[in-house]
Amino acid sequence: MTLILDGKAHAERMLAEVAAGVADRIARGHRPPCLAVVLVGEDPASHVYVRGKVADCARTGIRSVEHRLPAETPQADLEALVRTLNTDPAVDGILVQLPLPAGLDAKRVLHLLDPAKDVDGFHPVNQGLLLEGLPGLRPCTPSACMSLLKAHGIDPKGTRAVVLGRSEIVGKPMALMLLEAHATVTIAHSRTRDLPGLCREADILVAAVGRPGMVEGSWVKPGAVVIDVGINRVEDVALGERIFAADPARLATLKAKGGVLCGDVRYAEAALVAGAITPVPGGVGLLTRAGLMANTLQACR
């Protein structure tokens, strides 16, 4: 039987833990943690993400303050806001929602954040602490994936892990965290040769590529743990017919609604072979938000 790694249930557990931590602070006479969210422009997906994060703050007792800026905000004004939030003692965490509109330099903004308030864990100081294996604010998605493994008693120690994708926000930190947990890790990317063969060697396979259904069932080693980080919307029926051949329900949704969400892994195929697997939706996506709440509480502490 394949174990479905239920991100929703684990996110609920993580949020409950954060809520208990916040309540404990308040009971001891402290103010609640405060997260400042900076949203620039009108990207609809970013607005949806921010709404979800603000709702999670409300659920856990974290105070959230939103700063909405127009898409044409000059770089200097955005940087000035970040500097103000850096020095505001009432703000514990700062989240700059990405992507920023064209013309704004996200890296410069992220590098300007006070590392102690960098709840996304993207600042070079926090990335460096992770590299050194020292405590710091860690990127939410990979740390939530590690928490999900732990919650299911899956110990990476001694396993062969393959991480598909080498971005700074998912692939690289994920590989470092698996390494820290004593896995033997290979990072693959767009120039890697023989991806299917490499994936078939993985006891733990993490896909963070952003290519719908790229990982076929035949790429998965029998019994492997598959973590699918990818969140993709498929609207092309021809593509859907290829990648959802073993998933008629999803293909039907695509045809009926004109679009459907899926991961980087062909879930229906991979679930037949894997020992454990995260679904999309309902997997890693919800955990990332819970990880952000945990980081905000940590930053406040």
- Selecting among 92, 114, 118, 120, the annotated active-site residue is 120
Contact positions with ligand NDP (CB under 6 A) in 143-182: 164-167, 169-171
Please, what's the b/e burial string for 22-54 (b: 16 or more CB within 10 A of its CB; e: otherwise)? beebeeeeeebbbbbbbbbbebeebeebbeebb
Least Cβ distance, residue 67 to ligand NDP (angstroms): 22
Angle at 174 between CA 172 and CA 179, to 5 degrees: 95
| Residue 141 touching ligand NDP (CB under 6 A) | yes
Question: x/- site string to ligand NDP, residues 270 to 299, per CB under 6 A?
Answer: --------------xx--x-----------
Q: What is the CA radius of gyration of the chain?
A: 20
Residue 117 bears catalytic tag: no
Nearer to ligand NDP, 28 or 193 (CB): 193
In the structure encoding, which two tokens stand for residue 261, read together?
């969400």
Q: What is the dihedral of CA 135, 138, 140, 143, to 10 degrees?
A: -60
Residue 120 bears catalytic tag: yes
Nearer to ligand NDP, 150 or 189 (CB): 189
Residues 6+ positions from 173 with CB-CB distance below 8 Å: 121, 127, 130, 138, 139, 142, 143
Least Cβ distance, residue 288 to ligand NDP (angstroms): 3
Please, what's the b/e burial string for 125-145 (b: 16 or more CB within 10 A of its CB; e: otherwise)? bbbebbeeeeebbbbbbbbbb
Q: Which stretch binds ligand NDP (CB under 6 A): 46-54, 72-80, 127-135, 209-217?
A: 209-217
Contact positions with ligand NDP (CB under 6 A) in 75-104: none
Residue 127 bears catalytic tag: no
- Selecting among 56, 97, 127, 264, the annotated active-site residue is 97
Q: Binding site residues, as ranges?
A: 165-167, 231
Residues of this chain that interact with ligand NDP (CB under 6 A) are 141, 164-167, 169-171, 188-192, 195, 208-211, 229-232, 284-285, 288
Annotated active-site positions, please? 53, 97, 120
